[in-house]
Amino acid sequence: MKNKLQIGISACVTGQQVRYDKSHKRSSFCMDELSDFVEFKPVCPEMAVGLPTPRPTIRQISVNEVIKVSRPDGSSDVTDAMTQFGQTHAQSNPQLAGFIFCAKSPSCGMERVKVYQEDGKGSVSKGIGLFAEQIMKNNPLLPCEENGRLNDQVIRENFITRIFTYQKWLDLAEEGITLHKLIEFHSAHKYLVMTHNIARYKALGKLLADPKEPIDVVEKQYIAMLMETLTIKATRKGHTNTLQHLQGYFKKHLCAQRREELTQEIESYRKGLTPLLVPLTLIKHYMLAYPNEYLDRQVYINPHPKSLRLRYGY
């Protein structure tokens, strides 16, 4: 990977005391683990549109079915300013490989943000933060996640896989994409994509095998489908299928006892008795003993840094 990942992040999640009460929402995973591998680009949209800290709270308010962001009494309306700031930030930061938002914030929440009635007597948790909405709308390929959801092991691994994959794509785009490079990229991501969705893997292959459009159109179709596919959470069934495919590369090299050992470890993983790391470790061991250039290129084997320990818990 040529470049260090640049990740947008709500400033309060980094530990900056920028919330309305001068507190923060520091994420230990982001700042103590992920920060070794990424360069964070913190932003507080509320301060960016001129709100101080500390400050009176703002909220999303439904006014004639239109969402406004202001103080509870309707004063200090920052709806237009925050929307414009979100659009500008999205358009001026094409180098970002991902974004981590602060959950439930009226500016940064990706979902389930409280939207209050105009009279203040009730609310429904169905809103999207105005800033987050613009980032996601203007950069639909960008992997985005909330700080709280990153505590879930599967969601965390999925997000980290997506940001590292997207950075590889940004690196490729910087080089200049050709059909040959695109096919090589797809080949290296074969087992990663298969794990998430086999049908989508086949569709991507078909797109490249018989392109009907110029390369600039094909590349946009390809990356859109790839990033959408990777949002599908990988399951034990998907991983098991991939592990069995990888096992096939060693059938001529392993004795019956070692073949059975690997089969049993894959089966134990399928049943939920061992984490993914166990059969993968065996496969990596056999890759060292019996080198295979094609397998060495497979992103699935090492989709993210080992020290993040993302394959330990499932």
- CATH code, 39: 3.40.50
Q: Are residues 164 and 308 in the same domain?
A: yes
Q: Are residues 158 and 278 in the same domain?
A: yes
Residue 103 included in any domain: yes
Residue 193 included in any domain: yes
Band (pLDDT 50/70/90 cuts) for residue 270 is very high
- pLDDT for the residue 3: 66
Report whether pLDDT(293) > 90: yes
Q: Are residues 285 and 178 in the same domain?
A: yes
Band (pLDDT 50/70/90 cuts) for residue 302 is very high
Q: Are residues 163 and 81 in the same domain?
A: no
Residue 121 included in any domain: no
Q: Are residues 83 and 170 in the same domain?
A: no
DSSP letter for each residue of 57-119:
--EEEEETTEEEEE-TTS-S--HHHHHHHHHHHHHT-TT--EEEEPTT-TTT-SS-EEEEETT
Would you state the structure tokens that stand for residue 305, as one six-digit string? 């840094």
- pLDDT for the residue 1: 66
| Mean pLDDT, residues 58-71 | 94
Report whether pLDDT(157) > 90: yes
Report whether pLDDT(180) > 70: yes
Nearest by Cα to 93 from 104, 82, 85 = 85
Report how many domains make up the chain: 2
pLDDT per position as a tens digit, 13-51: 999 999 999 999 999 999 999 999 999 999 999 999 999
Q: Are residues 210 and 79 in the same domain?
A: no
**Vertex 169 angle, CA 2 and 40, to 5°:** 65
Residue 187 and residue 297: Cα distance in Å, rounded?
A: 8
Residue 124 included in any domain: no
Residue 158 structural domain = 152-314
Residue 69 included in any domain: no
- pLDDT for the residue 2: 64
- pLDDT for the residue 121: 84
Residue 247 backbone phi and psi in degrees, to 5: -60, -35
Residue 84 carries which side chain, given as an amino acid letter? Answer: Q
Better-predicted residue by pLDDT, 156 or 2: 156
Residue 275 and residue 170: Cα distance in Å, rounded?
A: 31
Rounded to the nearest 10 degrees, how much is the dihedral formed by the CA atoms of 211, 215, 218, 219? Answer: 140
Strand order across the beta sheet in which 123-127 lies = 66-70, 59-63, 113-117, 123-127
Residue 96 and residue 142: Cα distance in Å, rounded?
A: 8
- pLDDT for the residue 120: 81
- Coil, strand, or helix at residue 198? helix
Question: Mean pLDDT for the chain?
Answer: 95
Rounded to two decimals, the pTM is: 0.94
